[in-house]
Structure 1
Amino acid sequence: MIKESVFSESELTEIRENFPHTKTGHIYLNHAAISPISRSVKQAIDRFISDRYTGKIDNFEMGMSIVQETRDLISGFVNAENSEQITFMSNTSEGITAVAEGLDWNEGDEILLNRMEFPTNVQPYRILDRFGVNVRYIEPENNKVTPHMVESAITPKTRLFSISAVQYLTGFKADLEAIGQICKKHDVLFVVDAIQYLGAGTIDVQACNIDALATGGHKWLMSPMGTGFLYLSEKLSRRLKPYKTGWLSVQEPWELSNFEQEWLPVSQHLEIGTPNMIGIAGMNASLKTLNSIGPSRITENILNLTDYLTTKCSQQKNTHLISPKERKERAGIVTFTTRDITDTESFVESLKKKNITISSREGKLRIAPHYYNTIEELDTVLNAFI
């Protein structure tokens, strides 16, 4: 029997109060694309803007205090050894590019990917062909990439393996811990694109032997657009060269006339100038909300909702479920096709007119609920096409 919610009725009511769009009748189930801004996030951003507008105005020090607090919060979400290993980035692509461009490559080196990846986790590696680097792809089987497939694909020339924690289209969740052990055994750098999982769940970078983890904040972390971060292991940080630099990249940036300073470690070096303090203030509030509710409870409730979706889709003869049925192989994304709907783009647009938001990707329908959504909302959507 599928449990409807890990939250009591009163808890869920309070949780949904933080998302005013739920009061308008808008059923939003597209968190794999972009999440709504909560009331607490808006309030944090408003406070920062108000201080710049009619308050102290020069609130750089306050902003940097928020930045450091947020760095510490992020460190807890990924179990980094220390918060100095967290570098703020504007998006996932920037983080992966920092890794791709920061390594010394030799002609003939190989990077291992798979054919299900979102382009963010492909294009920064493809451009390395200028160094003679070869990108090889694992061909998924049944929309899955298993640890065995990864190990079988590694060759003596493989220097790096990169994978999304959860695939954007199929919703497949990789076994990061097993893959990390394989990469460590073969001395292959392990890079993870975490944007489709962090917020729906947490990732232990130490337990998974992850060398670099990159993400943006606007999906499951429910943060403003243009916020994100890069985690670097100590091992990779020592090997990586910064692909960009700026006035904040040195040991004592306020010694403005001292040009010949020592560089900061690369994880700090990459924050080259004034950060996106407004966005980070919003991320700070979002992370605090997720922590207050409890990441494990959030994960469990999302799995309850996707349990319901996968069961309902599997019971319909005209519906083909693409996402995994097994809990351990999925998170918040459920993707499927139905013979009754051939033009998925038009169908999604028709739902918007009914105040329902899901997405169409590659001719497939994708529903992505977050922890505040309800079974009743899922039923409303399912009744539109099942």
Structure 2
Amino acid sequence: MSRDTIFSESELTEIRENFPHTKTERVYLNHAAISPISWAVKQAIEKFISDRHSGKIDNIEMGMSILQETRDLISGFVHAESTEQITFMSNTSEGITAVAEGLDWNEGDEILLNHMEFPTNVQPYRILDRFGVNVRYIEPVNNRVTPGMVESAISSNTRLFSISAVQYLTGFKADLEAIGAICKKHNILFVVDAIQYLGAGTIDVQACNIDALSAGGHKWLMSPMGTGFLYLSEKLSKQLKPYKTGWLSVQEPWELSNFDQKWLPVSQHLEIGTPNMIGFAGMNASLKTLNSIGLSRITENILNLTDYLTVKLSQQNNTQLISPKEREERAGIVTFTTTDITDTEAFVETLKKKNITISSREGKLRIAPHFYNTIEELDTVLNALI
């Protein structure tokens, strides 16, 4: 077995059988944007739809069972203390917004971010200026935000620090455990946007002292769009007030005429009405697939693939690597520029016509392989660059 893959040839063949696009001429390397739907996910969705279409129809019980199982699976991906700390959301933005809008803010409170963030981890905080909340930004150095930079930026007014586990553009992976220890020491809330890492890796919210973690499912978790979740620590749950409410937010929702009920805890309160059961049936199947392969093996294989890309791109005189070379500082995203390509958008469109999919972001090229991709597929893209 080569250094470039931890899967045997037979294993990799079986893995790729679950992704029918690999049987075509298509090379898909854009998982930091959206992932393909596997056979397992498609079949799970079709089974749920078929039951609604011509089977039991009233399959709420099936749906609730799927939701609970999915909640358990998510809990394992983030090492939550309890599955009750997992709240289903439709996307990452909704989870971040639940935190931003749910806290009682005082004028002069400060939120600490950085200038590399995707807008999901910025806009929900910016709108808090109506309460007199200030947003300050750490200026990254060499596309990095280190624990030391975070600690130096904290002031007496800092109440919350939020960061992406992996930055969408640079591919930089934050040292969450060290940052979490700093936030705990200074008694500030620690929020993580995990969409660009979960599925390519796992996060231990307890070891990292994370108070809130939000992620959508359509990227590295390889789930349908419109599926996501929010993890809340016990500490933050006690501070948070629900920013939305609905008929399922009370302790006995089926007592339909009893309006004056006690509210559920915030993590359950935020699930306000009928969930996207079709989507979560798909997420359930995807998480099971990832678990069956082995999360640590998936992480290692993605790192092997990005190792290969990093070395190959670094050897090109006309190429500047934006992503970190050190594997402990990256996950599945490799971003670069090349003097041979000035219009990256046009280049990406040219590749699409050849059934090769990567992405252009902010004038840079981004390749994002998942665990099932191969060295041969990476070479196809690298050869197109020459």
Shorter-chain TM-score range:
over 0.9
Matched, 1:241 2:231: no
Tell me the residue number matched to 2:96.
Answer: 96
Matched, 1:275 2:275: yes
Identify the residue that residue 37 of structure 1 maps to in structure 2. Answer: 37
Pairing 1:74-89 to 2, within 5 Å after superposition = 74-89=74-89
CA deviation digits over 1:20-70, x for unaligned, max 9? 000011100000000000000000000000000000000011101100110
Q: Find the counterpart in structure 2 of residue 69 from structure 1.
A: 69
Question: SS where residue 223 of structure 1 aligns?
Answer: coil
Cα distance change of structure 1 residues 107 and 2 upon mapping to structure 2, 3 Å threshold: farther
Provide the residue aligned with 2:341 in structure 1: 341
Please state how far the C-alpha of 1:103 moved relative to its aligned partner: 0.1
Distance 1:36 1:188 in 2: 38
Deviations 1:236-280, CA, capped at 9 Å, x for gaps: 001000000000001111111111111000000000001000000
Q: Give the match's secondary structure for 1:215.
A: strand
Pairs within 5 Å for 1:94-173? 94-173=94-173
**Residue type of the alignment partner of 2:264:** L
CA distance in 2 between counterparts of 1:192 and 1:164 reads 6
SS of the residue corresponding to residue 195 of structure 2 reads coil
Distance in 2 separating the partners of 1:166 and 1:90: 20
| Unpaired stretches in structure 2, ≥5 consecutive residues | none
Instruction: Give the distance between the partners of 2:83 and 2:238, measured in 1 at CA.
Output: 16
List, as ranges, runs of 4+ consecutive aligned residues in structure 1 with deviation greater than 3 Å: none
Superposition pairs for residues 1-386 of structure 1, below 5 Å?
3-386=3-386
Q: Number of residue pairs matched? A: 386
Q: TM-score, normalised by structure 2?
A: 0.99
After TM superposition, the score normalised by the length of structure 1 is: 0.99
Residue 286 of structure 2 aligns with an amino acid whose one-letter code is S
Change in Cα spacing, 1:170 to 1:341, as seen in structure 2 (3 Å) is: same
Q: Which letter does structure 2 place at the counterpart of 1:316?
A: Q
Q: Deviations over 1:282-311 (max 9, x none)?
A: 000000000000000000000000000000
Q: Could you say what secondary structure the match of 1:383 adopts?
A: helix
Offset at residue 4 of structure 1 (A): 1.3
**Using the alignment, how far apart are the partners of 1:197 and 1:3 within structure 2?**
22
User: How far does the alpha carbon of each residue in 1:131-162 deviate from its partner, in whole angstroms, 9 at most, with x for none?
Assistant: 00000000000000000000000001000000
1:3 is displaced (CA, Å) by 1.2
Query: Aligned with 1:384: secondary structure?
Result: helix
Distance 1:292 1:335 in 2: 30
CA contact (8 A) 1:3 1:304 kept: yes
**Partners of 2:61 and 2:254 in 1: how far apart?**
13
Q: 1:130 and 1:256 mapped to 2: Cα distance? A: 36
- Give the Å deviation of 1:2: 7.5
1:2/1:307 contact within 8 Å kept: no
CA distance in 1, matches of 2:87, 2:366: 31
Question: Does the CA-based 8 Å contact 1:2-1:304 persist in structure 2?
Answer: no
Q: Deviations over 1:196-252 (max 9, x none)?
A: 000000000000000000000000000000000000000000100000000000111
Opposite residue 366 of structure 2, the aligned amino acid is R
- Summarize deviations over 1:59-95 as a string: whole Å, max 9, x none: 0111011001100000000000000000000000000
